[in-house]
Amino acid sequence: MAAPQDKDYAKACGQLASALSISLASARRKVDLVAAKEGVRDNAGRLLIAQRLLLEAQGVGQESRQLLDVLLEAVKEEEMYLGDD
């Protein structure tokens, strides 16, 4: 039988998975990989890592959306152009 997981850790991993559009298992592996690199073994440390990765993912997502908005603005010469499909 598997050991019960910390609810806050599971929630943070779920939010990370949603933000990165990956599976929950992949999000947990990502957190485990970073925890192993940083030498973190306790649940509280893993929770902090999951929250940090979530904040980083949300920041990158915001920057990407702003860049896409800039790229999708019509150039003055092309704003009235209708392409043939």
Give pLDDT tens digits for 64-76: 778 878 877 767 6
What pLDDT is recorded for position 5?
A: 72
Average pLDDT taken over every residue of the chain: 84
Instruction: Delimit the domains of the chain by residue range.
Output: 8-71
27 closest CA partner among 53, 48, 4: 53
- Burial label, 10 (beta-carbon count in 10 A; 0-12, 13-18, 19+): middle
Mean pLDDT value across residues 25-40: 95
pLDDT at position 51 over 80: yes
